[in-house]
């Protein structure tokens, strides 16, 4: 059953139109990869789902609710967690305090202890340094903290915008190893990436974005040997 369904979405910034009749579907427990080159509108699509960008036409259905007019904060309360580029870590606060910022809703605030006990085992480096300033973490560790903080929201859907951006290959491996654990534990995710190889490593299916719309869709097995996708310069 589709938990999120976008149908013929058009969106942009003022007179600049970025998305044209874009459709996309994510099922419960599924990891979907959205890949494409810079400037293809991947981040705009993400912002349209999370509520930062309001579509000019089309519909977004979230578990039976129409999202297009729902404010960004209510989308988060309803279970959509967005990890943007830049991570949004508060460097002067401790790692623990950064994590607790994810439990600001009535649904999660009473469950802080329970959620910490569930999330921290997936992020041992954070558990070891819980009371250290978040600014003391490396770039890769801060990415882990951003993911862990989003998990503290007990999300139904986790959206990650370029989780490998700016990280060394060995650190990217660590990030995707953690995402794979989350997948096996049943997390639903939309992963936006330029690196098709990494996106495919955890995804069930995917969409290739070109400027304006979706060029092609498919399940992971169909993409591995697809010459058109390989020619698209997406990381393989």
What was the pLDDT predicted at 95? 97
Domains along the sequence of the chain with CATH: 1-79+158-167+193-236 (3.40.50.300)
Prediction pTM value: 0.85
What was the pLDDT predicted at 39? 74
The tokens for 198 are 């990494």
What was the pLDDT predicted at 229? 56
For residue 147, how far is the Cα from the chain centroid?
Answer: 9
What was the pLDDT predicted at 231? 53
Would you tell me how many other CB atoms lie within 10 Å of the CB of residue 235? 16
The tokens for 84 are 């943007």
One digit per residue, pLDDT tens: the chain, 236 residues?
579 999 999 999 998 989 999 999 999 999 999 887 777 788 899 999 999 999 999 999 999 999 988 998 899 888 999 998 877 889 999 999 999 999 988 888 899 999 999 999 999 999 999 999 999 999 889 999 999 999 999 999 999 998 988 888 998 998 899 999 999 989 999 999 877 788 888 999 888 876 555 555 655 555 556 655 555 544 44
The β-bridge partners of 80 are 157
């Amino acid at each position: 059953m589709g938990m999120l369904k976008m149908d013929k979405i058009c969106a942009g910034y003022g007179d600049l139109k970025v998305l044209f009749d874009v459709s996309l579907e994510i099922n419960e427990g599924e990891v979907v990869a959205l890949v494409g080159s810079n400037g293809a509108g991947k981040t705009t699509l993400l912002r349209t789902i999370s509520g930062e960008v309001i579509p000019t036409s089309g519909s977004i259905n979230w578990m039976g609710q129409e999202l297009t007019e729902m404010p960004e904060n209510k989308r988060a309360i309803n279970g959509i967690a967005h990890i943007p580029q830049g991570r949004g870590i508060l460097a002067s606060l401790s790692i623990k305090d950064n994590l607790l910022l994810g439990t600001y809703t009535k649904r999660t605030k009473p469950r802080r202890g329970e959620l910490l006990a569930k999330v921290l085992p997936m992020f041992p480096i954070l558990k070891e340094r819980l009371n250290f300033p978040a600014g003391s973490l490396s770039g890769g560790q801060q990415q882990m903290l951003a993911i862990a903080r989003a998990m503290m929201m007990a999300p139904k859907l986790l959206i990650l915008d370029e989780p490998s951006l700016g990280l060394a290959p060995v650190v990217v491996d660590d990030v995707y190893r953690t995402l794979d654990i989350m997948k096996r534990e049943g997390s639903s995710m939309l992963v936006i990436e330029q690196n098709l190889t990494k996106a495919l490593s955890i995804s069930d299916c995917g969409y290739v974005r070109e400027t304006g719309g979706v060029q092609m869709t498919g399940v992971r097995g169909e993409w591995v040997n697809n010459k058109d996708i390989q020619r698209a310069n997406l990381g393989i």
